[in-house]
């Protein structure tokens, strides 16, 4: 070995074994981040057409998009349908058996952004109010968010109503799922339902539609569209790795047209932006 090279190695305290060990540890860490299955949860009451059941199989626009995202990352994942509130709680606390790490089909709110890491927008839909034609002879006088203060609302446990600026006491009845909320609306237990526009109409293409021709709806033009995301548990040991790689996958799937192709299978007129 040349004397000069030997002296450089001596001065820099070069230890080949140490660097080899670092490489092995780094490789092991990266491998472990990819190895463990990502446990994903969603509402057991479904979110058509984003999560639906067809021929006994769970599918839908967001289910297919989730498959595509994790296929790009090359990490196995498993989707569990659970009560919505339990899903949110277990992701927040990285709890359960197995512990849930991600939930899908969540709309953005400042409160959720404090509890979870939030992905880039995956899809969006307009916000709307729904009413029963059996309870109103004509369209209710709702032209702004301020007008909502005069109406009783059927809500769903765990849903996000932050954007509507309504008072808690206006949620006259809270149902366990959206199907139940629409049954309450038709029975006159409340006057309106506030929800993403595309979901009740998306249910018309399933075996269990939420609405029929007795229900009407109108989009709030005053409100910005509602954006939907993946949410990652902040308590997961690989939380930052997951959110970064999920966002990279979302960007790629949107830029190459795959996301729009998936969503237009279920929403031909609007795709990812309804």
Are 169 and 94 contained in the same domain? Answer: no
Q: For tokens 């998009």, name the residue.
A: 65
Together in a domain, 9 and 30: yes
| 165 lies in some domain | yes
Please tell me whether residues 142 and 210 are part of one structural domain.
yes
CB 161 within 8 A of CB 194: yes
CA 122 to chain centre: 8
Backbone angles phi, psi at 62, to 5 degrees: -75, -30
Tokens describing residue 252? 């790629």
For position 85, what pLDDT does the model report? 93
Quote the CA–CA distance of 76 and 94 in Å, as a whole number: 18
Residues 133 and 214 in one domain: yes
How far is the first Cα of the chain from the last one, in angstroms, to the nearest whole number? 69
pLDDT at residue 204, as a whole number: 86
What is the predicted pLDDT for the residue at 32?
Answer: 47
Q: Is residue 181 part of a domain?
A: yes
Rg (CA), the chain: 24
* Residue 50 and residue 164 share a domain: no
DSSP tag of 72: H
One digit per residue, the tens of pLDDT, for the chain of length 274 reads 544 433 433 444 445 444 433 333 333 444 445 459 999 999 998 999 999 988 889 999 999 999 999 999 989 999 999 999 999 999 999 998 889 999 999 999 999 999 999 999 999 999 999 999 999 989 999 999 999 999 999 999 888 888 898 877 788 778 989 999 999 999 999 999 999 999 998 888 788 899 999 999 999 888 889 999 999 999 999 999 999 999 999 999 999 999 999 999 999 989 999 9
Predicted pLDDT at 51: 97
**Into how many domains does the chain fold?**
3
Residues 6+ apart with CB under 8 A from 209: 203
Ramachandran angles phi, psi of 151, nearest 5°:
-125, 145
Residues 149 and 206 in one domain: yes
Helix axes of 61-73 and 239-255: crossing angle, nearest 10 degrees: 110
Rounded-to-integer distance, Cα 208 and Cα 205, Å: 8
Dihedral angle sign, alpha carbons of residues 237, 240, 241, 245: positive
**Are residues 109 and 61 part of one domain?**
yes
Structure tokens at 22: 């670092």
Domain assignment present for 249:
yes
User: According to the model, what pLDDT value does residue 206 have?
Assistant: 83
Give the Cα separation of 212 and 132 in Å (integer). Answer: 10
Q: How far apart are CA 42 and CA 103, in angstroms?
A: 6
The domain of 208 spans 127-219
What is the predicted pLDDT for the residue at 168? Answer: 74
- CATH number, domain of 188, equals 3.40.190.10
Sequence-distant (6+) residues with CB within 8 A of 85 are 157, 158
Round to whole Å and give the CA distance between 141 and 147. 7
């Amino acid at each position: 070995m040349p004397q000069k090279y030997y002296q450089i190695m001596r001065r820099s305290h070069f230890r080949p074994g140490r660097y080899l060990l670092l490489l092995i540890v780094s490789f092991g860490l990266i491998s472990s981040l990819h190895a463990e299955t990502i446990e994903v949860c969603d509402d057991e009451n479904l979110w058509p057409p984003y999560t639906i059941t067809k021929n006994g199989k769970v599918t839908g626009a967001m289910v297919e998009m989730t498959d595509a995202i994790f296929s790009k990352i090359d990490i196995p994942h498993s989707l569990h349908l659970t009560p919505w509130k339990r899903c949110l709680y277990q992701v927040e606390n990285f709890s359960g058996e197995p512990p849930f790490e991600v939930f899908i089909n969540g709309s953005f709110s400042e409160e959720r952004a404090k509890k979870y890491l939030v992905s880039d927008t995956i899809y969006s839909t307009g916000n709307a109010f729904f009413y029963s034609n059996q309870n109103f002879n004509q369209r209710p006088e709702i032209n702004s968010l301020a007008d909502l203060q005069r109406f009783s609302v059927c809500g769903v446990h765990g849903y996000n109503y932050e954007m509507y600026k309504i008072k808690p006491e206006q949620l006259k009845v809270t149902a366990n799922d959206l199907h139940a909320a629409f049954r309450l609306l038709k029975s006159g237990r409340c006057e309106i339902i506030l929800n993403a526009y595309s979901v009740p109409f998306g249910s018309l293409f399933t075996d269990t539609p939420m609405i029929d021709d007795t229900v009407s709806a109108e989009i709030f033009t005053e409100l910005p569209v509602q954006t939907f995301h993946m949410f990652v548990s902040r308590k997961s040991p690989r939380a930052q790795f997951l959110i970064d790689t999920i966002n990279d996958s979302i960007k790629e799937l949107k830029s190459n047209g795959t996301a729009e192709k998936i969503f237009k299978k279920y929403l031909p007129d609007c795709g990812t932006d309804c």
